[in-house]
Each structure stands twice: as structure tokens, then as C-alpha cells.
Amino acid sequence: MSGEFAASSLNPNRFAVNDEVTGDATKFSANFVPANVKVAGASIGSFNFSLSDRYTNKNFSPLDRIDDVEFGRKWSIDSTVTIQPSSEEIREAALTYNPIRALSLGGSIGSNDMGNQFSANRKEGFVRLADDSLPKISYTIEQIKSSQGIANEENDWVRQEGSVSYAMKKFIPSFRFEHEDRSIETPVMDSLDNASFGFTTLAPKFSFKGIYGMNLSTELELRDDDAAYEGKLQPQSRSITQTYDWSLPEVQNISSSSTSFLAIKRFITNSGLPTATSKQRLCAPKRDTRHFSEGLMLMYSMRRRRNGRQSFSAFSSKSSRAKDSISGREPEYGRY
């Protein structure tokens, strides 16, 4: 068990009278990890159970960031949510069960309460299998239901992702799956906010490790996107992305890698959604070469822009500032 307490006193204007703002925050957590649990003399595996509670006063001013990078995505707090300064309380509980060492099953539940401003409930479940002699399997599903008091909007966000791979000496086939469905209902009858969306991604991949000292891989990604139109999510586009990777691990202080991908995106024109064009194509190769020596690293990089032009950059680790050229991409069409 552990606990934390913090207090702050902020005076944004020392020339003003009674302008000081004070606040506090508390956090409590408990963790129970029984190993080799036995029932009737038979071992049923191990467990990991945790509880946490965090309260933050609306006037608390932390010296540094106290939230994780994915905090907004975790609780569905983004640009679609309008929240005035308010106190916040987060409660979470998580359970992980390992019947055998290679298999993990578990889930978590949690809530984020900001009074009348915002509230969210989150559920998550997962299964993972990792063993050298078996395929590696991972699957996660989570749902976030939130309510925004000011805008009177209801949000339902379901996310799924999974992957499976199996190493057969130097050959590693794998498959990746991802699906998201987010519906933001507005006070208007049978209406969805324009920020509602959905997509499904299927991506088989083949990798080769240690082929004459090189690593090779190729992946084909199929993605269908949905957008809000006429009160419901409707098909918007379909994209196919081919990715080719080649890398040479460090040999004689030199390493090199190359990545190329070709993406074709087709918009479904008969869906009724407004589109600027019915088809987009993107081809972008990238090559990097690095040379290491004592206290020095030289790097050469080449990238091809969308308009066909190439950009080059070279710098050393001793440079005070690394200079590089980055080509921009159109909104909603890039690799992030």
C-alpha cells in the first residue's frame, strides 16, 4: 500500500491583493500479488490485484505533468470535450490472472468524475500468450462511456486490437488487427457529432531475420474508414498500404536501413459524404546510413517527398543542432 499527498500555493500576480490560489491532491494505491495459489492441493496459478484512487482539487497547481501521455485517449478527453476547471477523482481496479507463466488473462474497470462537468466509465479486458515454442497472441478490448454536462453529449468509444505471430527460425509471419468505433450523440434527435468515426485495420506481415546478416520484412495493410453522416456512421474510404523494410545491423561500425511504402486510398463516392477526390496515392521511400566511432556518429538520410523531390540531410552527434527536412502531408492522410 502507498499514499501520496501534495499541496500547492500559486500567486499568478504578486501585485494583486488576495490573488493567491491554494489546492491539494491525494493518491492511494494498494497491490496484492499472491503467487502459486493452491486449491485442494492443486496449483491454479498466480494473481495480481490492484486498487487506486486519485483526487485532484481544481485549484491544485502541479510543478510538472501528473497525467500520462495517453491520459486523454484513455478517458476520452479530447478537443470534443469542453471542461471548465473542476475537481477530479479517478478510481481504478485491475486484475491479472496467470494460470501458467506464458498465459495472462485480466481486465480493469475505472471511473473519472468531474462533477457536473464530465464523467467517464472505462472497462478493459485482455489476453496474452507468449512462449518461444508457441505462437505469440495478444488481444485487448476496451470501452469508454462518457457524459459531458455542458454540451449534453454522450460518448461511446469501443477499441479493439490484436496480433498473432509465430517464429519459425528465421521466418516470422504475423497478423495485426485493429478496430475502433466512436459514437458521440448530440442533444439533437438521431444525430451524431462530426467527430464520430470508425475504422477497421487488417495487416498481414512477413519478416525474415538474419538473412546474410540482413533483416527483411513486408506488410500489407487494409483499412476501412467510417464517418458520421445523416445521423449514423457510414463507409467513407478504403486504403491499401504496402510497406517494405530492409535493415543491416551494425557491421564494422556501420548500420543502414531502408523503408518504402506505397499507399492507395479510395473514397466511396456513393456514400453521400463530401470528398475532394475519389483516389489518393502516396509513395515515400526513406534510407538511413549511420557510422559509429569513438564519440562520433555520422548519419546520412534520404527521403523522397510526395512531389517526387528528394531531401538529404547529414549531421554528427557532436553537432549542437541536428538539421533535417520533413515533408508535410495532407490532413487525415499520413502515417502517425
> In angstroms, rounded to a whole number, what is the distance separating the alpha carbons of residues 284 and 261?
6
Cα of first residue to Cα of last residue in the chain, in angstroms, is: 38
pLDDT at residue 40, rounded to an integer: 86
pLDDT at residue 314, rounded to an integer: 53
Domain tally, the chain: 1
pLDDT at residue 293, rounded to an integer: 53
Count of positions (residues) in the chain: 336
Report which secondary-structure segment, H or E, holds 71. helix 71-74
Q: Other C-beta atoms within 10 Å of 155: how many? A: 23
Instruction: Tell me the three cell numbers of residue 27.
Output: 493518491
The answer to whether residue 289 is domain-embedded is no
The answer to whether residue 53 is domain-embedded is yes
pLDDT at residue 145, rounded to an integer: 95
pLDDT at residue 320, rounded to an integer: 40
pLDDT at residue 325, rounded to an integer: 42
The answer to whether residue 326 is domain-embedded is no
CA 149 to chain centre: 27
Largest CA distance in the chain: 74
User: In this structure, what DSSP letter does residue 195 have?
Assistant: T
> In angstroms, rounded to a whole number, what is the distance separating the alpha carbons of residues 31 and 90?
17
pLDDT by position in tens, the chain (length 336): 999 999 999 888 877 777 788 999 999 999 999 988 888 888 899 999 999 999 999 999 998 888 999 999 999 988 778 788 899 999 999 999 999 989 999 999 999 999 888 999 999 999 999 988 889 999 999 999 999 877 788 899 999 999 999 999 899 999 999 999 999 988 776 678 888 999 999 999 999 998 888 999 999 999 999 998 888 899 999 999 999 999 888 776 777 888 888 889 888 866 556 555 566 776 667 767 665 555 555 555 666 555 555 555 555 554 444 444 444 444 444 443
Burial of 246-264, coded b for 16+ CB within 10 Å and e otherwise, reads: beeeeeeeebbbebbbebe
pLDDT at residue 318, rounded to an integer: 47
- Which candidate, 106, 75, 77, places its Cα nearest to that of 93? 106
The answer to whether residue 295 is domain-embedded is no
Distances 136 to 92, 152, 164, 165, 179 between C-alpha atoms, Å:
28, 43, 5, 5, 20
* Backbone phi, psi, residue 233, to 5°: -80, 130
pTM equals 0.80
Amino acid of residue 140: T
pLDDT at residue 46, rounded to an integer: 94
The answer to whether residue 205 is domain-embedded is yes
Instruction: Tell me the three cell numbers of residue 247.
Output: 535493415
pLDDT at residue 90, rounded to an integer: 97
**β-pair partners for 92:** 52, 110
> In angstroms, rounded to a whole number, what is the distance separating the alpha carbons of residues 39 and 95?
19
> In angstroms, rounded to a whole number, what is the distance separating the alpha carbons of residues 118 and 77?
9
The answer to whether residue 285 is domain-embedded is no
> In angstroms, rounded to a whole number, what is the distance separating the alpha carbons of residues 284 and 198?
26
The answer to whether residue 306 is domain-embedded is no
The answer to whether residue 6 is domain-embedded is yes
User: In this structure, what DSSP letter does residue 82 have?
Assistant: -
Task: Provide the residue range defining the domain that includes 179.
Answer: 2-266
> In angstroms, rounded to a whole number, what is the distance separating the alpha carbons of residues 260 and 245?
7
